[in-house]
Amino acid sequence: MQNRMMITGAGSGLGREIALRWAHEGWRLALADVNEAGLAETLKLVREAGGDGFIRRCDVRDYSQLTALAQACEEQFGGIDIIVNNAGVASGGFFSELSLEDWDWQISINLMGVVKGCKAFLPLLEKSKGKIVNIASMAALMQGPGMSNYNVAKAGVVALSESLLVELRQLEIGVHVVCPSFFQTNLLDSFRGPTPAMKAQVGKLLESSPISASDIANYIHDEMAKGSFMILPHEMGRMAWALKQKSPQALYDEMASMAEKMRGKVKSVS
């Protein structure tokens, strides 16, 4: 390990906090995002924290931008040790309301963006025997109502990570997948969905979370050090996942009653 890391979605939120956590240990960071002002701010904070690196505008839907980013890492750092596929967007709405465009947008960023990130950086990771960190969500495991396209995209990230875990072990490349629940972040800035009421509900859940992006970055750091594959930062998330494994029907019933309540709330607002 030569302490070189690439992070997508590094201009704010969890991506920024991951950058700062590793910056405290003097890592060199390749910071990517579509938000260039946010990137500049992250790099400033990284340098204040004891790290260094460079920024690059990168849309994860465009594979050529990711391969160019990998090339920049090779030129500036001589390679890469950890990649964090963190860039993502939020969406919500009942299945009947979501358009196929909503599905394409969600899958292209939250799932295919991760696929393309892994693909673009794999040659560098083979050389360094590095690590892949894919940021999924508890939505990948719990499939809450009113967010089917988000659930499917994030479940795909978990399935991809499981596939890579078993395929890349022989190459000595580590794989981790992170499934946070709601936490204090600016994810709503990217929210797309058919009803304003759904956005308001998600906003309340984000704001009421007792855990911050910084807490999650610390938890990821500690769990990676232990070699954990599935990283579940929220205690409630760990409990819910244990319940689903033990008694899936109980969880489906709970989610179905939640869907009923959500429909009632959305109707009353609209």
Residues 224-246: pLDDT tens digits?
Answer: 999 999 999 988 788 888 888 89
pLDDT in tens, 93-138: 999 999 999 999 999 999 999 999 999 999 999 999 999 999 999 8
Q: Are 80 and 4 in contact (CB under 8 A)?
A: yes
Q: Give pLDDT, residue 59.
A: 98
Which residues in the chain come in under a pLDDT of 50? 183-188, 191, 199, 202-203, 205-206
Q: What is the pTM of this model?
A: 0.89
Q: Is 252 a catalytic residue?
A: no
Q: Where are the domains of the chain?
A: 4-268
In this predicted structure, what is the pLDDT of residue 1? 79
Q: Which of 63, 150, 219, 252 is catalytic?
A: 150
Averaged pLDDT of the chain: 89
Do residues 1 and 24 touch, judged by C-beta distance below 8 A? no
Long-range pairs, 70-78, Cβ under 8 A, ≥24: 70/6, 70/120, 70/121, 70/123, 70/124, 72/30, 73/4, 73/6, 73/30, 73/121, 73/124, 74/124, 76/30, 77/2, 77/4, 77/28, 77/30, 78/2, 78/4
Architecture of the domain defined by 4-268: 3-Layer(aba) Sandwich (3.40)
